[in-house]
Chain A
Amino acid sequence: MLNSLMLLALLSTASAEDFTVVSEDQPAPFEGVLLSVPAVAEVLAQHEEVQMKCDLEIEYQLDKANTQCKLDKNILEARIVTLEQQYKEIIAQKDLVINKQQAIIKKGAPHRKWLWFAGGIVLGGATYYGIEQKTQ
């Protein structure tokens, strides 16, 4: 445990974040890793490349989501238009049927039935009376 703590303390005070530039055959000021110029260029360029790739990926994913959203919107709009027209058509047809059927029902409306009924009684009574008069 103590050894681990000592190692951590040593690491934190070590020059892990330091760097230098050395020429050929020149001794280095500290122990470390020597990178060639192309390797350093690679490391530096990679940093920028990763950033650009990250920005590109974000932009690409946003564009993709936007396109998908647009597709969903267009499909939903088409569905809404269809449903609205469907609704109007059904209502218009129902109104038409109701009006026509109401006209048919009105032909046999109650007040006319009563007239028929009264007329029948009067006619029947008169016929009966007439026949009775004739037969006597």
Chain B
Amino acid sequence: MKQKILLFCLKHWKEIGLVLLLLVVFGKSQYDVRNIIKAHEIAEQSLKDQISTLESLHTEELRLRDEALEQYRIEMEQLELKYEARQDEIKDLTRAEKEVIIKEFKQDKALIIQRLEETYGLRYVE
């Protein structure tokens, strides 16, 4: 039996060699393909990680942005309130000022003369 196999191998050594060579080439190509797939998988995993990180970064940015907008809204609201309060205060001051002027006129006319001169630069005529 062994003799027969040996004779067969010796007779068809080129064919056997060719088959072996094909097997080697096939094995090598499989190895290369596996490496390419591995490289692709690494790139894919990297991209997935990047997307995941970018998503979390984007969420964080949106949170910070919302915080800033909320702070802006609160500050603007406070400013509006302050502005309105100051306007009311000015109205009250004007009203009080008018009363003071009228009172001054009744007490001392010279004061209103002085005020008109100082405020509008008018010249008093006796």
A-B CB pair tally, cutoff 8 Å? 145
**B123 interface residue, CB < 8 Å from A?**
yes
- Closest beta carbon of chain A to B116's beta carbon, Å: 6
Q: Report if A46-B42 is in contact (Cβ < 8 Å); known contacts: A19-B124, A74-B64.
A: no
Closest to A95 in B: B46
Q: Are the C-beta atoms of B126 and A19 separated by less than 8 Å?
A: no
Q: Are the C-beta atoms of A38 and B125 separated by less than 8 Å?
A: no
Task: Tell me the interface secondary structure of chain B in the complex.
Answer: helix
**B35 interface residue, CB < 8 Å from A?**
yes
Q: Report if A19-B116 is in contact (Cβ < 8 Å); known contacts: A89-B50, A93-B46, A135-B10.
A: yes
Q: Are the C-beta atoms of A21 and B112 separated by less than 8 Å?
A: yes
Closest to A85 in B: B57
Closest to A94 in B: B46
Q: Are the C-beta atoms of B101 and A41 separated by less than 8 Å?
A: yes
Q: Are the C-beta atoms of A18 and B42 separated by less than 8 Å?
A: no
Candidates B49, B65, B90; contact of A56 at CB < 8 Å: B90
**B43 interface residue, CB < 8 Å from A?**
yes
Chain B residues near A107 (CB-CB < 8 A): 35
Q: Are the C-beta atoms of B65 and A78 separated by less than 8 Å?
A: yes
Q: Are the C-beta atoms of B83 and A90 separated by less than 8 Å?
A: no
Q: List residues of B (1-29) whose CB comes within 8 Å of A's CBs.
A: 10, 13, 17
Which of the listed residues B49, B83, B94 has the most CB atoms from chain A within 10 Å of its own CB?
B94
CB pairs A–B below 8 angstroms (25 shown): A17-B122, A18-B124, A19-B122, A19-B125, A40-B105, A41-B99, A41-B101, A42-B98, A44-B101, A56-B90, A60-B83, A67-B75, A70-B71, A70-B72, A75-B64, A75-B65, A78-B61, A82-B57, A86-B53, A89-B53, A93-B49, A97-B43, A101-B42, A104-B35, A127-B17
* Chain A residues within CB distance 8 Å of chain B: 15, 17-21, 29-30, 37-38, 40-42, 44-49, 52-53, 56, 60, 63-64, 67-68, 70-71, 74-75, 77-79, 81-82, 85-86, 89-90, 93-94, 96-97, 100-101, 104, 107-108, 127, 131, 134-135
Would you list the 9 A-B pairs with minimal beta carbon distance, nearest first? A74-B68, A78-B64, A41-B101, A71-B72, A82-B61, A41-B98, A45-B97, A49-B94, A93-B46
